[in-house]
Structure 1
Amino acid sequence: MQECNSIILKDIIDVDEMKRILNSFVLATGLGAICVDAQGELAIVPEEHEGYCLFCKEIRRDQEGRKRCNESMNKAGKLAAQLGEPYIYRCHAGLIEFAAPILFKDLYLGSISCGPVLMWDWDEAAVEEILSLTNDLGINREKLIDAGSNIKMLTGRNVQAAAELLYITANHIAKSNIETLQQRKELNDQQSQLAEMIFEQKKAEERIRFLEGRIKCKEYPIDKENDLLDKVRMGDRTGAKKNLNEILSVIFFHSSGNIELIKARILELVVVISRAAVEGGASMDKLLGYNYSYIFELASMNRFEDICFWIVKILDTFLDTVYESRNIKNSNLLG
């Protein structure tokens, strides 16, 4: 388990959705629940929770008490992440809380901290222990004892069930946003490469114009297309993507931003790539089905960057189909 410096909790978690879920949890169970980041600081607090219970609020009035609360939540969240499951623990003030980790792959981004609860009677012995643990804090003892008497009491089974529910919920939300984050990164990387290629092509054409007085650059790099098709037939994913990006930069440059012209050229490119995939061993019937749906998808797009990201995913699909067909043939031969 690692901590992540480049990705923060709110990159992965939809704040409004998490607030809605935590609000429902608080109302349904009567337990407090908040979301803390990788440093143990408050990140998402549902309106129904109002931050903390009266007991916790009294503890956190003291600076040292607030520090210990944050340290407890931070430590518990990291231990939960290491275990890969909810972690039930006693906080620094002696009450039961539990942490459900929020992970991005193997990176710890934060946790849902829930509680406090009691798993024993609020009797004289319990009060004495609480006062002993908080003896050095500058707080009102009477308010603390009164607040403690209102803390919800649960069985171990109830606590475990509540912890599991929060863990499953939080990580379902996180996983649903991971794909979007990855797509955004891939799109940014691709756009950066395209921008660099377009810039280099523009410089090259200006150099030719200066030397010869006219543009001798081809309007369409047929040699690059042939290289692309060869790599598709061979199943060379990395080489094919490199050639595709070079072709996309040329299409953009020579289309003068005309999105309909760009889409027409992209559709032609999809067709020839699919033919090359069939020549590489892919199923013709499967690719024909793909191509039919791709026509409607492309028609709905109006941004060049979206089209670029889309055709790269299509290339991946075609290559996956090539690999799949080869694996089936190899299995048949071995059988």
Structure 2
Amino acid sequence: MILQDDNIIREYLKMYYISTGIASFATDDKGESLYSEGPVSMYCQKFKELSGNNCPCKSAHLKAGRQSEKIGDGYIYSCPGGLIHWTASIIVKGLYMGALVGGPVQMCEPDGLLIDDIIRINDFDVQNRGILHAYINAVPIVEPERVRYLSNMLYVVAKALISEESGILSERKKFYQEQAKINESIQYVKDLDYSEHISKYYPIDLEDELMSKVKSGDKKGAKIILNELLGYALFSSGNNFEITKAKVLELMIMLSRAAVEGGGNLEMIFGLKLRYL
């Protein structure tokens, strides 16, 4: 059981299937499939039958569900059978309770080599090649852009199921989006010419722009610039934690001063600074 009233999940899965035409199912916190809506894929059934006790599907769905929990968003992945699924985690009181899973689908016409690879990797009897080909041809083909929107929709459904916990997922999603921006900045610095010292191309002008954004109260603009500066700070110090710490402290002092000059509460700002030092 994922929620106290699992009938709610059944109803939401049915709504998703009727609206999209794509099958979906729910898994528990161990990756076990609990119930589904829509036709069961004959390809999946045959794959599980041939895999027997070594079937990797449960662990694959569990891993994907956990990844969705980690990033606070829907997660699109390829299953061991070579098909596409997407998942959205169910969080109750901060704990992972399971996930909603959409699919399977294919994003392009099935390649004849795919079945050969599946047979080889899973050590299936080659005599099953024909039946697997027939079954995979029956799996719906959905263009990548629509898959992305189907994943987003399932994520919305999952959030509706756990409205009280949706804030946790939103915060995780926000955190990973910010981390992605920092990583982009790091990669940008890596792509620059290494022949000159890092200080040569440290974006001093961005610091001035950040100060201006903070003073004017432009929170969104300041956050974007700060993420870029953190990317430079993290990369330029390599693995030296002390250097990274010094640069971050320098940014913190600069932000505090700008906030005060912009009319911020002096005691609150310096109290926060001391808290994070």
Provide TM-score, normalisation by structure 2.
0.54
Deviation at 1:17?
2.5
Aligned counterpart, 2:2: 9
Amino acid at match of 2:19: A
Amino acid at match of 1:59: F
CA distance in 1, matches of 2:47, 2:125: 8
Q: Which runs of 5+ in 1 are unaligned?
A: 1-7, 179-335
Amino acid at match of 2:70: Q
Q: Which runs of 5+ in 2 are unaligned?
A: 167-277
1:98 paired with 2:91, answer no
Aligned counterpart, 2:20: 29
Aligned counterpart, 1:133: 121
Deviation at 1:101?
0.9
Deviation at 1:167?
1.1
Please give the per-residue CA displacement for 1:153-210, whole angstroms capped at 9, x wherever unaligned. 11221111111111111221222699xxxxxxxxxxxxxxxxxxxxxxxxxxxxxxxx
Deviation at 1:53?
0.7
Aligned counterpart, 1:172: 160
**Quick check: 2:26–2:99 contact (8 Å CA) kept in 1?**
yes
CA distance in 2, matches of 1:137, 1:38: 32
CA distance in 1, matches of 2:127, 2:89: 31
Identity of aligned residues (%): 23
Distance 1:162 1:59, change over 3 A: same
**Quick check: 1:93–1:134 contact (8 Å CA) kept in 2?**
no
Deviation at 1:138?
9.4
Deviation at 1:19?
1.3
Distance 1:56 1:158, change over 3 A: same
**Quick check: 1:39–1:74 contact (8 Å CA) kept in 2?**
yes
Distance 1:65 1:161, change over 3 A: farther
Amino acid at match of 1:120: C
CA distance in 2, matches of 1:170, 1:111: 8
| Equivalent residue in structure 1 for 2:140, among 138, 152, 175 | 152
Please give the per-residue CA displacement for 1:233-262, whole angstroms capped at 9, x wherever unaligned. xxxxxxxxxxxxxxxxxxxxxxxxxxxxxx
Please give the per-residue CA displacement for 1:35-68, whole angstroms capped at 9, x wherever unaligned. 001100122323x34xx31111111213547731
Q: Aligned-residue CA RMSD in angstroms?
A: 2.6
Please give the per-residue CA displacement for 1:276-315, whole angstroms capped at 9, x wherever unaligned. xxxxxxxxxxxxxxxxxxxxxxxxxxxxxxxxxxxxxxxx
Provide TM-score, normalisation by structure 1.
0.45
Deviation at 1:23?
1.9
Aligned counterpart, 1:110: 98
Q: Please state whether the residue corresponding to 2:141 is helix, strand or coil.
A: coil
1:73 paired with 2:61, answer yes
CA distance in 2, matches of 1:90, 1:56: 13
1:83 paired with 2:71, answer yes
1:18 paired with 2:5, answer no
Deviation at 1:132?
3.1
Number of equivalent positions = 166
CA distance in 2, matches of 1:162, 1:16: 22
Aligned counterpart, 1:45: 36
Q: Please state whether the residue corresponding to 1:140 is helix, strand or coil.
A: helix
Distance 1:120 1:133, change over 3 A: farther
Q: Please state whether the residue corresponding to 2:61 is helix, strand or coil.
A: helix
**Quick check: 1:64–1:137 contact (8 Å CA) kept in 2?**
no
Deviation at 1:139?
8.4
Amino acid at match of 1:31: I
**Quick check: 2:93–2:165 contact (8 Å CA) kept in 1?**
no
| Equivalent residue in structure 2 for 1:61, among 24, 49, 55 | 49
CA distance in 2, matches of 1:166, 1:176: 17
CA distance in 1, matches of 2:127, 2:164: 43
Q: Please state whether the residue corresponding to 2:162 is helix, strand or coil.
A: helix
Amino acid at match of 2:63: K
Q: Please state whether the residue corresponding to 2:30 is helix, strand or coil.
A: coil
Q: Please state whether the residue corresponding to 2:76 is helix, strand or coil.
A: strand
CA distance in 1, matches of 2:127, 2:91: 36
CA distance in 2, matches of 1:62, 1:128: 14
Distance 1:125 1:141, change over 3 A: closer
